[in-house]
Amino acid sequence: MFLLQLRNELVKLFGKKRTYIGFAMFLLAQNLIAVVFRFTHATRPLQRLLESGGHVVADYLSALTIASIMLMPLAAFLLPLYVSLIGGDLVAKEAEDGTLRMILCRPIARSRLLLVKWLAGCIFAVALSLALGLFGLLFARLYFPWGGLFIWMPEQEILSLFPAGTGLERYAVAHVMLITEACSIMGLAFMFSCFNVKPAAATILGLSLVFVSFILEHIPYFKDYENWFFTYHLHLWQLMFAERIPWWRVGQSLCLLVGFNVTFLTVGLTVFQMRDIKS
């Protein structure tokens, strides 16, 4: 029954056109960025950086490097937007449309319904994260040769060079970690979706908290307290590009993200359980 209900939830989710906005935008944005890198001088700073380190530019100006560069802004801005959009819709849109009332005259427990919806949201988040990685690599490969991975993330103090094989592994692991970011932001918007609010409000509330956390985390005064910010733990995927992955930090953040997600789900469940569902 649970699997049938999950399948139905996925049918509902992936039957809607708006579910594909994120996928479509990734296709568009990544294609555009790849074209810009290929046909303009956008790669010059990268080339200079490689040359100053005494590396052969041709070895590292590759599909993997370009795909990883594309990943940074998209993971920071577009991915949160689309997972938040879906997370905010999952309950609130059904309540707004009246289908939630139709569901809740059935003998399904509210907690079970919510769990099915949350899982569907997570599956969407996984699909979107993986699509981001696959599309990025695909489009970068259309315009750039296969080769090593060069990555520079000053904020995380990461400057790394990997041969193609290791680079691909790191790129893949980074996307696995990106799933934690996508699921967590989806879970946050999902929590707000359980309140008696419009779907847009749930999405905006979720995104607002992410952005507020991001802004506070980047204020120098709060540097010592960065551990306390939600977004600090969402950057896990970036650590996968470090020469030596700081697994203790990864473990710490993963534990905290699990805590955040359990909290979001518990708050959502409690609010939803107590709510009156009216027409």
Partner 1 sequence: MIELRQVSKRFGQRLAVNELSLRVPAGEVFGLLGHNGAGKSTAIGMMLGQVWPTAGEVFIGGAEVGRERRRALSKVGAIFETPAFYDYLSGWDNLRIFTQYSAPTPAARLREVVDWVGLTGRETSPVRTYSHGMRARLALAQALLPGPELLILDEPGEGLDPEGIAEMRHTILRLHRELGLTILLSSHLLTEVEQLCTRIAVLQEGRKIFEGPLAEAKSNGNWLRVEVGDFPAAVTLLTQAGLITGARDGRWLALATGVGVDRVVRCLVEHGAAVFAVSREQPTLEEFYLSLVRKPEPPAAAT
What are the residues binding partner 1 (CB under 8 A)? 1, 4-5, 8, 11-12, 15-17, 97-99, 101-109, 113, 274, 276-279
In the complex with partner 1, the residue whose CB is nearer, 22 or 206, is 22
In the complex with partner 1, the residue whose CB is nearer, 10 or 126, is 10
Q: Tell me if 91 sits within 8 A of 100, measured CB to CB.
A: yes
**Distance of alpha carbon 44 from the chain centroid:** 29
In the complex with partner 1, the residue whose CB is nearer, 223 or 278, is 278
- Closest distance to partner 1 from the beta carbon of 99 (Å): 5
- Closest distance to partner 1 from the beta carbon of 126 (Å): 22
Beta bridge partners of 162: 149
- Closest distance to partner 1 from the beta carbon of 204 (Å): 24
| Cα dist from 233 to 71, 130, 214, whole Å | 17, 19, 11
- Closest distance to partner 1 from the beta carbon of 57 (Å): 49
In the complex with partner 1, the residue whose CB is nearer, 108 or 258, is 108
| Residue in this structure with the two tokens 């060069």, named with its chain if needed | 150
In the complex with partner 1, the residue whose CB is nearer, 52 or 274, is 274
Q: Is 209 left (phi over 0), alpha (psi -120 to 50) or beta?
A: alpha
How far apart CA 49 and CA 45 sit, in angstroms, is: 6
Angle between helices 79-97 and 199-217 (to 10 degrees): 150
- Closest distance to partner 1 from the beta carbon of 196 (Å): 12
How far apart CA 134 and CA 128 sit, in angstroms, is: 10
